[in-house]
Every structure is written in structure tokens, then in C-alpha cells.
Structure 1
Amino acid sequence: MISKNTIDKVFEQSRVEEVIGDFVNLKKSGSNYKALSPFSNEKTPSFVVSPVKQIWKDFSSGKGGNAISFLMEHEHFTYPEAIKYLARKYN
């Protein structure tokens, strides 16, 4: 079992734009990043990442969340697998 302290540290250190940027080609747009949806086939970018809020939203599919929910949705990780992935990425 992963301790609450470890989970808190992972949340503090992880950056949603860095995590998603490993899988999606993000382009800066004002204070946010935009990309084509990794969950649907589209021609106009509707996938938005907010570094300030540490969240993402895919307006074409309605999905959204934080770095962990992205890993669970995109990579089909379980919650513990997503935490371990981020812990390894951010030491």
C-alpha cells in the first residue's frame, strides 16, 4: 500500500503539463497548453492543459482531471500504477 505521505509528495512534485507532454504534443496558448485530443479523432485542438490549476480537459470527449487521471485514462494505469509512475518520474 502506498502511504498518504508518498501520495501527497507525488501530487506536490508532479506537473500536469510535463506528464501529459510525455504522451501528447502540447502547444502553448496563453497561460495554457492546447493539443489535439488523445481520446478522439479531431482536426481542431480541443484538449486543454492548465499548468496553473494542474488540470486537463478534453472538450471533445468531456473527459478531464489531473495528472493521475490522465495516466489512468490514457495509459490505462490503475491508481497505484499511476502514483508509482509519477514517483519514478519525479524521484
Structure 2
Amino acid sequence: MQKNDEFLYQLKSANPIETVVGSYVNLLRQGHNYVCACPFHSEKTPSCTVFTDTQSFYCFGCGAGGDVI
């Protein structure tokens, strides 16, 4: 189990979420985080936040969320 955890940690560390998400949508810096239009539903006002400290994202419009994996 430790090897899986170590592998996932290395994978996440090598692929910052802002780089991965930013390759699909335009990110706007907002403090330490980024906001964007959610790629999982149609919207005009950005409701998806990419959290750099936890390397995760969450859409306050549709509830989608996760990390780079």
C-alpha cells in the first residue's frame, strides 16, 4: 500500500493541478487560487475554483471536484 501512496504523491507532485486544468480552460488568478468556467457544465460566470494549496478543484455550480488523478 505504501508504494501506491508514494506513486500517487509523485504523480501529483509532477503535475500541478493549475498546469493540468490550465491546459484545458483559461484560469484567472484570485489570491492563492484560480477560478475558471467549469468544463463539466455550461456557464458564463466562473464557478470553478482550483485550490493550489490542496492541489484540488471544486465547482460551486455543479459540485464537480477532485484532483489531477
TM-score, scaled to structure 1: 0.65
Seen in structure 2, the aligned counterparts of structure 1 residues 23 and 29 have a Cα distance that, compared at 3 Å, is same
In 1, the alpha carbon distance for the partners of 2:52 and 2:37 equals 17
* Identity rate, percent: 35
Deviations 1:32-54 (A, max 9, x none): 10011111111211010011110
1:73 — aligned with what? none
Runs of 4+ in 1 over 3 A off after TM superposition: 5-8
Gaps of 5+ in 2: none
1:84 — aligned with what? none
TM-score, scaled to structure 2: 0.83
Greater strand share, 1 or 2?
Answer: 2
- Residue 7 (structure 1) shift: 3.2
2:11 — aligned with what? 10
Greater helix share, 1 or 2?
Answer: 1
2:56 — aligned with what? 55
Give the letter for the 1:8 counterpart.
Answer: Y
SS of 1:33 mapped into structure 2: strand
In 1, the alpha carbon distance for the partners of 2:31 and 2:9 equals 29
